[in-house]
Chains A and B, each alone.
Chain A
Amino acid sequence: MTLSDGYPTETIIGLEVHVQLKTQTKLFCSCSTQFGAPPNTQVCPVCLGLPGALPVMNEHAIDLAIQAGLAIDCSIPPMTKWDRKQYFYPDLPKGYQISQFDLPICADGFVKITDDNDPEKIRRIGIIRAHLEEDAGKSMHDEASGRSDSRIDLNRCGTPLLEIVSQPDLRSANEAKNYLTELKLRMTLLGVSDCEMQEGSLRVDANVNLHIDVNGEKIATPIAEIKNMNSFRAVEHAIEHEIDRQYDVWEETGKTIKDESKTTRGWDDATGKTFLQREKEESADYRYFPDPDLLPIRVPRERVDAAKASLGEMPAELCQRLQTQYGIKLYDANVIVNQGRELIEYFETAATTSGDGKRTSSWIQQDVMRTLNEKQIRIADFAVSADQLGELLQRVSRGDFDNARARDVFSHLIKNAGTVEDAVKALGIESVDSSEIETLCKELLDANPQVIDDVKSGKKQAVGSLIGQAKKKNPNANPKQVRETLLQLIEQA
């Protein structure tokens, strides 16, 4: 990449992604992890850090972490343990976070994404590790009221997180987005996490710097870590902004990675800029040590094997299967799979009922997804069920009515409850039997004899004008059927 009239640069990005695991209860106590409860109502002595309370591991969190690790091709080392990461902050009542320092539960994996510059090429993004840790609580600073005190809600405290740390293998904001999309897809397909960014169940830190090529000499700018972004768009924009900023600062000051240690920056959506964050005093000195309250985990091999067996299809395999099973193109399979588990299931049900994968895929990508976008809803809350769509499309394939009429039925189903048959009746759609169509076509040909000559001299498209007229005379006439009948009659004439 070359910035306007500057030296060629390469962007180096590594991501740390925090994924909230989908457990009922917290990592070390039996409190609920449900989002949105009133403050401090899902707490107990353990997650409040009261003296004498002892943590006990959540078995399900361990299984989910193993599944997640396998889904990103990590190995699961035979032994893993817990460490205390010490820092003082009011949303961390124990004064330390239980995390994993030197023996994480998942090690050394990778994720494949499409190359930014060449969609035919695949890039392999290395994953250094994925470790389990507990989340902190939430502090709320009420600046508007001018009150200097902060309010602390500890409901989130102790919620299980898996932190997935990538190698600095990403080279652009778009690649970072592709990597995140792939990661989220894998986690949601597995059911390991909801990855609901609005609820903070997927959060991203990005380490960014530039390699600037100054007449053959490679100069690295100081690394900035942009913290706590909770939308893919924020990640993309923050990285783009950071690329420009680092280049400008380097031009101005000439400072390189050797002159300045890593800094922490925040991202401001409103201004579209990253900003320097005041470091928590001496925050880098976490003084990790093994947590004496917890025992090490020796992951039984059978558990890993069982997780491997239950892994199910990952995105690439799923795309492959949708292509062969439903006869759709790779591009279409990709679009559907990228929407996640719910939409994939919707497609498969509808395509099976309709018996026409291609038609179902194009309807879902156009009519269904557009409606979901317009209404800002998920497929689970969509008025037209997969079975209804399947039945509707099956009737289109059968020739009961055409796509345009099917769209009327579809809109009717969105607005009114009821079956496809109810909608068809309500709209006064009747299937027209073939003798009726034949009579209609004969009348039209009698009135327009020049069409017969045109078609006979090779201009098949001449029947088009008659199809329009047929539709006017009988709105229920299926254009495809009209066209075929017309051509047949002309041939016999």
Chain B
Amino acid sequence: MSLTVAEVRKLALLARLDLSDDEVASVRPQLDSILAFVKQLTELDTTDVEPMTTALDVDNRWREDQQLPGLMNEEALANSPSQNEGCFLVPPVLGVVASKKS
């Protein structure tokens, strides 16, 4: 099983990554080998195995609905490249296709 160039481009778009042709060419075999590795799981017979959602043997871990101090506004914005009036400032998103190649 091998991923097509179009499939790699679609994945890149979903992850909002702008890959060059060279990068697509180098990422493609890497993704293939990851998929092949995971595919080993299909060798197991899971006919009578219940689907599971966690490997841990616990459930129902929750907390009380009690407010605790969070971050100050300056702390929250500390790592943002651009900010304005206490907000994160981001480039426009709507209508912009992340990958220039598509």
A interface residues, Cβ below 8 angstroms from B: 23-25, 29-32, 38-45, 47-48, 56-62, 81, 86, 88-90, 139-141, 148-154, 278, 280-282, 285, 287, 290, 292, 295-298, 300
A56 to B71, CA, bound (A): 17
B62 touches A59 (CB 8 A): yes
Question: With A59-B62, A282-B13, A296-B54 given, is the CB distance from A151 to B84 under 8 Å?
Answer: yes
A56 to B66, CA, bound (A): 12
Question: With A43-B70, A58-B62, A295-B54 given, is the CB distance from A152 to B76 under 8 Å?
Answer: no
A43 touches B90 (CB 8 A): no
A153 touches B54 (CB 8 A): no
B88 touches A154 (CB 8 A): yes
The residue from B13, B88, B97 contacting A90, defined by CB atoms under 8 A apart: B88
Q: How many A-B contacts are there with CB distance less than 8 Å?
A: 130
A40 touches B92 (CB 8 A): no
B71 touches A43 (CB 8 A): yes
B91 touches A148 (CB 8 A): yes
A-side contacts of B89, CB under 8 Å: 149-152
| Sampled A-B contacts (12; CB under 8 Å) | A41-B72, A58-B63, A88-B14, A90-B88, A150-B89, A150-B91, A150-B93, A154-B76, A292-B54, A295-B56, A297-B60, A298-B60
A474 to B45, CA, bound (A): 98
B-side contacts of A278, CB under 8 Å: 94-95
The residue from A41, A62, A151, A152 contacting B62, defined by CB atoms under 8 A apart: A62
A30 touches B66 (CB 8 A): yes
B-side contacts of A25, CB under 8 Å: 65-68
How would you classify the secondary structure of chain A's contact residues: helix, strand, loop or mixed?
Answer: loop
B87 touches A152 (CB 8 A): yes
B62 touches A57 (CB 8 A): yes
- Judge whether B64 is part of the interface by a CB distance below 8 angstroms: yes
A44 touches B71 (CB 8 A): yes
A42 to B72, CA, bound (A): 8
Question: With A48-B71, A88-B15, A90-B93 given, is the CB distance from A57 to B61 under 8 Å?
Answer: yes
Kindly state the interface size class of chain B when it binds its partner: 35 or more
- Taking the closest CB of chain A, its distance from the CB of B61, in whole angstroms, is 5
B-side contacts of A141, CB under 8 Å: 92, 94
The residue from B67, B73, B87 contacting A151, defined by CB atoms under 8 A apart: B87
- Taking the closest CB of chain A, its distance from the CB of B89, in whole angstroms, is 5
Question: With A43-B70, A60-B65 given, is the CB distance from A290 to B53 under 8 Å?
Answer: yes
B85 touches A56 (CB 8 A): no
- Taking the closest CB of chain A, its distance from the CB of B50, in whole angstroms, is 11
A281 touches B13 (CB 8 A): yes
- Taking the closest CB of chain B, its distance from the CB of A68, in whole angstroms, is 15
- Of chain B, the residue at the smallest CB distance from A87 is B14
A-side contacts of B13, CB under 8 Å: 281-282
A59 touches B65 (CB 8 A): yes
- Taking the closest CB of chain A, its distance from the CB of B76, in whole angstroms, is 5
B-side contacts of A148, CB under 8 Å: 91-92
The residue from A139, A280, A295 contacting B61, defined by CB atoms under 8 A apart: A295
A43 touches B65 (CB 8 A): no
A47 to B71, CA, bound (A): 11
Q: In the A-B complex, list the 10 residue pairs whose CB atoms are closest, starting with the nearest.
A: A60-B65, A44-B70, A151-B87, A30-B68, A152-B88, A59-B62, A57-B62, A39-B86, A90-B90, A88-B16
B86 touches A41 (CB 8 A): yes
- Judge whether B49 is part of the interface by a CB distance below 8 angstroms: no
The winner among B10, B13, B58, B76 for most chain A CB atoms within 10 A is B76
A153 to B83, CA, bound (A): 11
- Taking the closest CB of chain B, its distance from the CB of A35, in whole angstroms, is 14
A39 touches B59 (CB 8 A): no
Question: With A278-B95, A285-B14, A295-B61 given, is the CB distance from A24 to B67 under 8 Å?
Answer: yes
A39 to B94, CA, bound (A): 22
For the complex with contacts A25-B65, A45-B71, A295-B54, 18 further pairs of A-B residues with Cβ separation under 8 Å are: A30-B66, A38-B86, A39-B87, A40-B73, A48-B71, A56-B61, A56-B63, A60-B64, A88-B16, A90-B93, A149-B89, A150-B89, A150-B91, A153-B86, A278-B94, A290-B53, A292-B54, A296-B59
- Of chain B, the residue at the smallest CB distance from A86 is B14
A149 to B96, CA, bound (A): 12
A127 to B32, CA, bound (A): 43
The winner among A56, A88, A148, A154 for most chain B CB atoms within 10 A is A88
